[in-house]
Amino acid sequence: MTLLLGCYLMVIIMLLKVFALLQNG
């Protein structure tokens, strides 16, 4: 359960970083 939550958090953080880069660029 905790491992699954960690994977979801990593994916969400990656998506947020990508969106931030797209908006800044």
Segments making up each domain of the chain, as ranges: 1-25
Report the alpha-carbon distance of residue 1 to residue 15 in Å, rounded.
21
**pLDDT on residue 25:** 78
| pLDDT digits 0-9 by tens, 1-25 | 799 999 999 999 999 999 999 999 7
CA 23/CA 11 separation, integer angstroms: 18
Distances (CA, A) of 24 to 2, 4, 12, 17: 33, 30, 18, 10
Residue 23: the pLDDT is 96
